Amino acid sequence: MGIFRCLVLNTTMLMAVLTCFASQAFAKNAGDVRQDKFGVMQTYVPAGCFVMGASDEQITQAMRSNPPEWAAKEIKYEQPQHKICLSQAYWIDQTEVTNASFALFVSADAYTERKYWSADGWKWLQGEYIDILPYECIEIIADHPRVCITWYEAEAYAKWRGGRLPSEAEWEYAARGPQSYIYPWGDDWIADNAHVLGLEHPMKVGTLPQGKSWVSAYDMAGNAMEWVADWQTDGYYTNSPLDDPKGAVTGIFKTQKGGWWGSNIFVSRAAYKYYNDPPHYQDHHIGFRIVSD
């Protein structure tokens, strides 16, 4: 009886120890990284809250950078600043999707598979070809961001990888963090942290690790502007849900975030959004990254 009791106690203690080790092994912290089955590195974003948009003071400060007129007129869509919470953790690509990664999607013949496309995206695809681009885009540099990409193509690629495009709130939270920084690295502009300011083309993704966000996401200010999931409509922030906002149900334009290689300080702020492009638009400064649940 004594031996049996000892065995039971020892087994119970062993299970407790194993449970402790297992919980520690699978615990996730902000900035933990993983590689998905397609070889893409993703970083972990825990559930949490932050202040989305820009305050009057931040707007006044931003206007001192003398933004171009087309950028300055978008600032009304950054207000009112409001606190929102994301109830579910997620993984976000550590960098923008590269030419190499998108080429896998195409070479696997997944690009033309109906199951990866939304109804509207499939309609678009029937009348377009992947090599029809409005500008000369360099696709042969494997580790550069895949630009000249429509929102529809980004959506299809995301589904192929088992993910989706981030909501604007998810993108902005990954960039700003619970501290709600103005830029991914903090509240002060540091030119060496971002690939912007009148340059001529994108660069290798992740080249500027000093500009990473709180979860070690790279190039969230500069290199390529990024599509997010949301439709953009006037006044959405005024009536936005405070928990897990997804943007308007319908619209004409899709939101872009993050600045690009030929933009400016003003556009590189995490709160900035550009919204004048429909989902069938493509350009040599627009790329994307995806999230996975």
| CATH number, domain containing residue 250 | 3.90.1580.10
Q: Mean pLDDT over residues 204-220, rounded?
A: 98
DSSP 215-227: T----SSBSSEEE
Give me the amino acid identity at 163: G
Q: What band does 197 get if pLDDT is binned at 50, 70 and 90?
A: confident
Does 178 fall in a domain? yes
CB 231, CB 248: distance < 8 Å: yes
- Strand pairing category for 90-93 and 41-45: antiparallel
Pairwise CA distance, residues 159 & 26, whole Å: 26
pLDDT of residue 4: 38
pLDDT of residue 24: 39
- Please, what is the average pLDDT of the chain? 89
pLDDT of residue 17: 40
pLDDT of residue 14: 46
Domain that holds residue 171: 33-292
CB 270, CB 221: distance < 8 Å: yes
Does 24 fall in a domain? no
Copy the structure tokens of residue 281.
């638009």
CB 273, CB 193: distance < 8 Å: no
Q: What band does 71 get if pLDDT is binned at 50, 70 and 90?
A: very high
Query: Using one digit for the tens of pLDDT, what is the confidence trace for 19-50?
Result: 443 333 455 999 999 999 999 999 999 999 99
Structural domains counted in the chain:
1
Q: What band does 128 get if pLDDT is binned at 50, 70 and 90?
A: low
Does 130 fall in a domain? yes
Q: What band does 83 get if pLDDT is binned at 50, 70 and 90?
A: very high
Q: Mean pLDDT over residues 267-282, rounded?
A: 94
Alpha carbons within 13 angstroms on the beta-carbon side of residue 6 total 3
Does 12 fall in a domain? no
pLDDT of residue 201: 87
Pairwise CA distance, residues 228 & 170, whole Å: 9
Query: Using one digit for the tens of pLDDT, what is the confidence trace for 108-123?
Result: 999 999 999 999 999 9
Does 287 fall in a domain? yes
Query: Using one digit for the tens of pLDDT, what is the confidence trace for 142-174?
Result: 999 999 999 999 999 999 999 999 999 999 999
Does 27 fall in a domain? no
Share of the chain above pLDDT 70, in %: 87
Does 18 fall in a domain? no
Does 280 fall in a domain? yes
CB 44, CB 75: distance < 8 Å: no
pLDDT of residue 140: 78
Q: Mean pLDDT over residues 226-234, rounded?
A: 95
pLDDT of residue 155: 98
Weakest-pLDDT range from 125-139, 188-202, 243-257: 125-139
